[in-house]
Amino acid sequence: MLYWLDLFGIVVFALSGALMAGRYKLDPFGVVVLAAVTAIGGGTIRDVILDTPVFWVESPIYLYVILLTAILTIIFIRRPKRIPKRFLLISDAFGLALFAVLGTEKALSLGSDTTVAIVMGMITGVAGGMIRDVLCNVIPLILRQEIYALAAILGGILFVCLQTLGASENIALISAIVGALSLRLAAIYWQVSLPAFQIIDLKNTKSDID
């Protein structure tokens, strides 16, 4: 189940990266690159930090899945700008929820502390999207007011809590993924966001009062 969920997450994130490439009119090579960094960027950083063999180096099938997803996107989606922006956000939300929980599970299986495992899950979920957005010269979702990293953290916490309570791994995985996905989709649907940090210019405020 872990393997198939991982592959599904790769497809979803690769699709998200390919669609972003289409919106910015990149060439086919650019589509493949953006699909790849979105799909495997977070997992690569996680594995390097945990000092474990990088997952796609050990199993190149991930690269083939990314390439196939990018090619099918180019062939069948001719006009990415006509695709609602929300579709890109929703596909990204699926990838975020899947990878956040799977990243947490992998870190725990390697003997990491629960807090470290949750952080690794968050990195797995958000880092690929960050690299994608930076390459497209867009402020990454995690740095905006969006409820994004918070959803990834929730998924990791749910998984850890359910495992601690004795739930089976499959139930813990599915429940945690659904929880993270529900929070992210709710934030997209109702446009809920965190309050923005803003530094008040005391000099101008004082002059306004005067």
Name every residue whose Cβ is closer than 8 Å to that of residue 20 and which is 6 or more positions away in sequence. 34, 38, 88, 132, 133, 136
CA angle 25, 28, 30 (to 5 degrees): 70
To the nearest 5 percent, what fractions of the chain are helix, strand and coil? 75, 0, 20
Q: What is the pLDDT of residues 11-53, one digit of tens each?
A: 999 999 999 998 898 999 999 999 999 999 999 999 999 999 9
Both tokens assigned to 78:
């001719």
pLDDT of 67 strictly over 70: yes
Residues whose CB is less than 8 angstroms from the CB of residue 104 and which lie 6 or more positions away in sequence, other chains included = 117, 118, 120, 121, 124, 155, 156, 159, 160, 176
- Does residue 190 carry a pLDDT above 70? yes
* Calpha distance 145→62 (Å, rounded): 32
What is the model's pLDDT at position 167? 95
pLDDT tens track for 122-165: 999 999 999 999 999 998 888 877 799 999 999 999 999 999 99
Please report where in the chains the tokens 């001719």 appear, as a residue: 78
Q: What is the pLDDT of residue 196?
A: 74
DSSP string, 67-97: HHHHHHHHHH-S-GGGS-HHHHHHHHHHHHH
Least confident of 84-98, 132-146, 188-202: 188-202
